Structure 1
Amino acid sequence: MKILVCWPPHVPSYFNAGHHLPVFSITAYLRAAGHEVDALDAGALNFSWKEFGDRLFRGGYELVVLVNDFDTAEGIRRAADYAKALLPDVTVLTVGRLSYQNPGYFEALALDAVAHGGDYEAAAEETVRWVIAGRSGRPDLAGVAVRTAGGWQGPARPGAWLPAAQWVLPDVRDIPYFHYENLYRRDENKFCGIPERRELVVPVARGCPVGCAFCDVPTMQGLRERRLTVERTLDYIRASFAAHPFEYVAFYAPTFTLDKRWVRQLCTALAAEPRRYPWKCATTMFHLDADLVARMGAAGCVRISVGVETFEDEGADELPRLKRSARDRFEQVAGWCAEAGIELNCFLIVGLPGTTPEGTRRAMREIAAAGARVRPTLYTPYDRMRADMTEREMSAFNRQLFVDPDEIRATGHEPGEFLGLLFGADPYVTPATERVGHLAVPTTAVP
């Protein structure tokens, strides 16, 4: 089957290469199953809709997989419209973070299938099976709803979580790294990448049992963690650096240090490598300890990102129990990172219920005083999404604008007081760029 897996054209509110990785993971998985698959990140490539239409029309695809996210409601709608106009017989599936939170919203669009749950690759595979079977009106799909002559039919059973051994890692030749670097170039944007350095994203784990109410990972990946072996992780890093001029590794996992034994094994293996691989990761402050941080620094770690969330006691009720003593833990972790020469990157929630602009501003000052980086994100109540929302209403769930500004005013604060903390100037300059070092990376796009 001839398939296009793509991220639609759009202007991003936020950019994280790891969030775009499903385009290339799904592509690799379907290719391994014997299909002819093209991968396209039309968002990062800054495609016009004309260019997107050209690719569809000339590609002659039988299946188009549109990867959705919280920021792509308008893009998915337009991409589906273009696909149906230019390829009348095509089947269009959407899969991603937004459809897993609010699948019913997508049934109003020009789509044939909407993934509800399970790994994205498994959802795509189920849809391929349905198309090959002639798009049966009596579907039996796991984790995928489909449009039939009789209307939408929901998933017959939950989607499948694939064991890590079945994941097919992305082909680095598919990924537009030069364009990702341009998105990361201005560090004041607080995007996740390191400015002026080429990043290899390695998806090492899926799933998280921590249970933050504001997090989409449990819905998207499940509560039980699945993780690559250290050996396979290193094999992928070595092969990727041999094939492409990468400068550092971003380990993509919801809670990288959840399995401390695995991390220690990885650190030992990295320290023994003949070449240095600088790297970064994200975890919680409560899954770190002094010895582990020291080992990570010695093995090349240059940045650890953690969810500080808030220092205000009034906002703690919104957090899992293990995150409710954030200030004390922060002081410990900041000290460990400083000793290990690791930049600490702190996710801080702006507008978390119970918190105030002054309390958030005070936390930002405390984090900066400890030499750490602040990465503010606006609180977004995903549980308030509804299937009957308009495109404009859905687009408000982008973690940069309040879904309900009047609700903020009812607390005695103006939305702008919080938004100023998100969009105001920040003089911080990341040390990670210099700690990574520099290789001779081409200044033009690599195919």
Structure 2
Amino acid sequence: MRVALVTCFNADWHFGKLPSPYVPLNLLGLAAIARRNGHDPAVIDPTLALTEGRVSDGPDFHRQVAELICASGADVVGLTTMCNSYPQTLTLARWCRELDPTVRILLGGPQASVVDVATLREFGWIDAIVRNEADRSLVQVLDRWTTGRDLAGVAGTTWRGADGVAVREPAAPLLQDLDDLPFPAYDLYPFERIPVAFTPVEAGRGCPYGCTFCSTNVFFNREYRIKSPTRLIAEMRYLQDTYGLTRFDLVHDMLTVDQRWVRAFSAALVGGGYGFEWACSARTDRVDDDLLATMAAAGCRGMFFGVETGSQRMQPLVRKRLRVDDVLPVIRAGTERGISCTGSMIVGFPEETVDDAVASLELALDILRISPDTQAQMHVLAPLVGSPLYEQHRDDLRFDGHSSDISLFLLDEEEIATVTRHPDIFPSFYHIATPHLDRELAKAISAITYTCPTLFMALRLAGADLRQVLTGWTSWQRRHVGPEKLRPDYYLSAFVPDLCRYLELEVLAPLGPTAPVLRDLMAYTEVRYTLQRRLTGERTAFRAFDHDVRTLNASLRTGGGLDVEHVASDLLFVNLTAPRGRGYAFLEVSVPRGPDALVRPGDRLEIRDPVRQLLSRPELIIRNTSQRRAFAAKHHLTERHLTVLGLRREPATVATG
């Protein structure tokens, strides 16, 4: 049977940039099993089709993707699902049914697994759902449908009976020995064209912990399983021998639970001399200095730590139970050993107070100050079906059009209407009330972490009370930012200019001698943000600074202070805007002051044939038509940058004013 396995649409859009494709490891694994059992799988990625121009963004996107799917000649369309794109997945499935009424439509993945009965009840074009792990059930479904039989007795499935009513079969047992799985069908996906730092390889499944916000424990029943070091390394060697790959993301929710396994795996890597580099996820209480040193020596170059909250009071309430005081030493120790560390947190827990939320922001800033290579995430809480938090609050979910950044609100009007009708199916687009925490403050803390953390590092160093700054912001926002501006994407695309206006009017003056430095840093942050988010039609922006803001911005990420040189630092920001939807890049050109300055405020600038220049030389020629002169500015874009941004496709003349 011909089966088209379709990836989730990656809804992680940022600031006018199209989403990035990702290697669909789960589907490649299922494709290998289906092929081993005599079926004919293909893998179709809507995100990749969009970035490669085979479909276009806009109202016809889903129909175009459905046409690609149906053109594959599939008898069965299997769509994997995640909470962030579930409405879009259902829209795509509906188009597949309209274009080919005979095709069977099958859903799988985390979201469909936990809302299976409700999905079949409300969306008549879905034929069946394979719940949780589908390593066994997918093949059984395909075998049954090949011979025209229904799915009665196929464990782990929910299917539509002859009367249209959902039939829910008992759960399928989890696969215990992951070494029995075939290598994923990597040949079915052009992952060599995907610009990823680390190629994903499944190391294992399941997390034994029971955090209140997480639904993973439902999907894997809290059963921790991991491949043997021999099996895992064999797959890494296969990718090296076949595709020349040596950098891997070892996919497992919690790789370091079994430290003996980690040591054995690390020893095997060192002993084999493969030269692999790899990344993984862990808990800060499941590593120590010795283990970090062992992992680093074996090629570990990245670690993701789910910290969840910087408040020690909140740790037991969310059942994470970490010691917050241990987080920074662990991340610092990893960084010192060459491991790029990420600390991930959540804001918006129902029990959370302002002090708890500010503690999380403080910890995020501390993580970022360790090194330019450290990262911090701050997600607004999303109620996930199956999580203890969802079960406790499922009857009191609230909708305000602003969803967590794990479910970015990029839906059309029809999909929004569907979401609002079915909170039980799409709860991640809702929120839980926070009686002791202003929701706008929670949103702001998340946005600050992603958009202007160095500005808040500087405010803190200058003696500002971040609690007062944030509560003052929410009060100011209610008075000065109208509801027409507070669109669902406000905190992604228009937040910083309003925040800077508030800081200028109500925060900077009392900070005394540091205010001028902060004002320069604020202006630097705002102009970069404005260009990146395309809040202005300008392609260039000239700003005069009294301090060396670039050095200050960089030093804040390495624990530096506010004692920046009081020297002129005039900068010309040149926006190298790519074709629509392909992202952004811009140059920062230092411009000397004085009577012979290359650029002055109000000058008209022109960049002729920027794409041709970028492709042919390391410098960009900028013409100052007001002064009738030209100068060269070096650019930092590599060949990979140019390809990803799509600058090769649309040579043009950019005139700016």
Please tell me the TM-score bracket, short chain as reference. 0.7 to 0.9
Indicate conservation of the 8 Å contact 1:255/1:282, yes or no: yes
- Show the 5 A alignment for 1:8-27: 8-9=8-9, 11-13=11-13, 20-27=24-31
Partner of 1:35: 39
Flag the 1:8–1:252 CA change in 2: closer, same or farther, 3 A.
closer
TM-score by length of 1: 0.82
Deviation at 1:19? 8.2
The answer for the alignment partner of 1:82 in structure 2 is 95
Aligned-partner Cα distance in 2 for 1:156–1:345: 40
* Aligned counterpart for 2:157 among listed residues 144, 152, 156: 144
- SS for the counterpart of 2:96 is helix
CA distance, structure 2, for counterparts of residue 285 and residue 43 of structure 1:
34
Aligned partner letter, 1:86: L
> Structure 2 length as normaliser, TM-score?
0.58
Between the aligned partners of 2:106 and 2:192, the Cα distance in structure 1 is: 28
Aligned residue for 2:104? 91
- 1:201 Cα deviation from its structure 2 partner: 0.8
Distance 2:148 2:432 in 1: 49
Deviation at 1:394, TM superposition (A): 11
1:398-413 to structure 2, matched below 5 A, reads 399=406, 403-404=429-430, 407-408=433-434, 411-413=437-439
SS in 1 for 2:279: strand
**Aligned with 2:186 (options 172, 195, 208):** 172
Unpaired runs of 5+ in structure 1? 182-192, 432-439
Is 1:329 matched up with 2:342? no
Identity over aligned residues, as a percent? 19
Tell me what 1:350 maps to: 347
SS at match of 2:168: coil
Matches within 5 A, 1:171-320: 171-177=185-191, 180-181=194-195, 197=197, 199-320=198-319
SS for the counterpart of 2:256 is: coil
Residue 75 of structure 1, CA deviation: 2.1
Is 1:66 aligned to 2:76, yes or no? Answer: no
Equivalent residues in 2 for 1:346-425, closer than 5 Å: 346-353=343-350, 354-356=352-354, 357-371=357-371, 372-383=374-385, 384=390, 396=403, 399=406, 403-404=429-430, 407-408=433-434, 411-414=437-440, 415-425=442-452
Q: CA contact under 8 A between 1:145 and 1:153: conserved in structure 2? A: yes
Stretch moving more, 393-402 or 170-179: 393-402
- Find the partner of 1:100 among 106, 113, 118: 113
Letter in 2 for 1:122: R
| Further displaced range: 403-412 or 271-280 | 403-412
Structure 1 match to 2:4: 4
- Bigger radius of gyration among the two: 2
Q: Distance in 1 between matches of 2:396 and 2:6?
A: 24
Separation in 1, partners of 2:137, 2:49: 25
**How far off its partner does 1:281 sit?**
0.5
SS of the aligned residue for 1:224 comes to: coil
Amino acid at match of 1:69: M
Question: Structure 2 regions of 5+ residues with no counterpart?
Answer: 56-60, 409-427, 455-552, 559-638, 645-657
- 1:303-331 per-residue CA deviation (whole Å, 9 max, x = no partner) reads 111111112133224332xx424322213
In the alignment, which residue of structure 1 is the partner of 2:134? 120
Counterparts of 2:396 and 2:75, CA distance in 1: 30
The C-alpha deviation readout for 1:381-410, integer Å capped at 9, x for no partner, is 2144899999x9999466356855682476
Quote the residue 2:573 is aligned against: none
Task: Using the TM superposition, name which of 139-148 and 49-58 deviates more.
Answer: 49-58
Measured against aligned partners, the alpha-carbon deviations of 1:16-71 in whole angstroms (never above 9, x if no partner) come to 97783212111111111111110112224324435423333322211111011112
User: What CA deviation, in whole Å up to 9, does each residue of 1:97-123 have, x standing for no partner?
Assistant: 111232234212210002333x12233
Equivalent AA in structure 2 for residue 248 of structure 1: R
Distance in structure 2 (CA, Å) of the matches to 1:205 and 1:94? 23
Q: Which moved more, 1:50-59 or 1:155-164?
A: 50-59
Q: Distance in 2 between matches of 1:207 and 1:307?
A: 15
User: How large is the Cα RMSD of the aligned pairs?
Assistant: 3.5
Range that drifts further, 53-62 or 107-116: 53-62
- Quick check: 1:285–1:330 contact (8 Å CA) kept in 2? yes
- Relative to structure 1, is the Cα distance of residues 91 and 247 closer, same or farther in structure 2, using a 3 angstrom cutoff? same
Q: Call closer, same or farther: CA 1:105–1:396 in 2, change over 3 Å.
A: farther
Could you tell me whether the CA contact under 8 Å between 2:158 and 2:168 is conserved in 1?
Answer: yes
Residues 353 and 437 in structure 2, CA contact (< 8 A), matched pair in contact too: no
Displacement of 1:361 in angstroms is 1.8
Q: How much has 1:210 moved relative to structure 2?
A: 1.1
- Cα distance in 1, alignment partners of residues 209 and 435 from structure 2: 31
Instruction: Please report how far the alpha carbon of residue 253 of structure 1 lies from its aligned counterpart in structure 2 after TM superposition.
Output: 0.4
Greater displacement, 292-301 / 41-50: 41-50
C-alpha spacing 1:342/1:240, structure 2 compared with 1 (3 Å)? same
| Aligned 8 A contact 2:3 2:42 in 1 | yes
Deviates more, 1:6-15 or 1:150-159: 6-15
Q: Which amino acid aligns with 1:269?
A: A
Relative to structure 1, the CA distance from residue 314 to residue 86 in structure 2 (aligned partners, 3 Å threshold; closer, same or farther) is same
Residues 309 and 54 of structure 1, relative CA distance in 2, 3 Å threshold: same
* 1:86 Cα offset (Å): 2.4
Relative to structure 1, the CA distance from residue 73 to residue 314 in structure 2 (aligned partners, 3 Å threshold; closer, same or farther) is same
Structure 1 contact 141–155 (Cα < 8 Å) conserved: no
Tell me how many residue pairs correspond in the alignment. Answer: 418
Partner of 2:514: none
Cα offsets for 1:410-446 (capped at 9, x unmatched): 6345254334235423569999xxxxxxxx999979x
Distance 2:405 2:127 in 1: 25
Structure with bigger RCO (C-alpha 8 Å, 6+ apart): 1
The 10-residue stretch of structure 1 (422-431 or 81-90) with the greater mean CA deviation from structure 2: 422-431
Structure 2 Cα separation of the partners of residues 70 and 242 of structure 1? 36
Shift of 1:347: 1.0
Residue identity in the other structure for 2:47 = G
SS of the equivalent of 1:399 reads helix
Kindly state the Cα deviation for residue 6 of structure 1 after the two structures are TM-superposed.
0.8
The amino acid that maps onto 2:83 is: F
SS state at 2:445 partner? helix
Question: In structure 1, what is the Cα distance between the partners aligned to 2:118 and 2:394?
Answer: 4
Distance in 2 (alpha carbons) for counterparts of 1:205 and 1:420: 33
Q: Could you tell me how far 1:146 is from its partner in structure 2? A: 0.5
Partner in structure 1 of residue 525 of structure 2: none
Counterparts in 2 of 1:325 and 1:49: CA distance versus 1, 3 Å:
closer
- Partner SS, residue 313 of structure 1: coil
Counterpart residue identity of residue 210, structure 1: Y
1:230-284, CA deviations, whole angstroms, 9 ceiling, x for partnerless residues?
Answer: 1111111111122224351100001111121221111111112344111110011
394-403 or 1-10, larger mean C-alpha shift: 394-403
Q: Which amino acid aligns with 1:25?
A: G
Native 8 Å contact 1:267 1:295 kept in 2:
yes
Does the Cα contact within 8 Å between 2:365 and 2:453 map onto a contact in 1?
no
Cα contact 2:310–2:361 (8 A) shared by 1: no
Give the aligned residue type for 1:22: N
Quick one: structure 1 residues 255 and 25, their matched pair in 2 at CA, closer, same or farther if it must change by over 3 Å? same
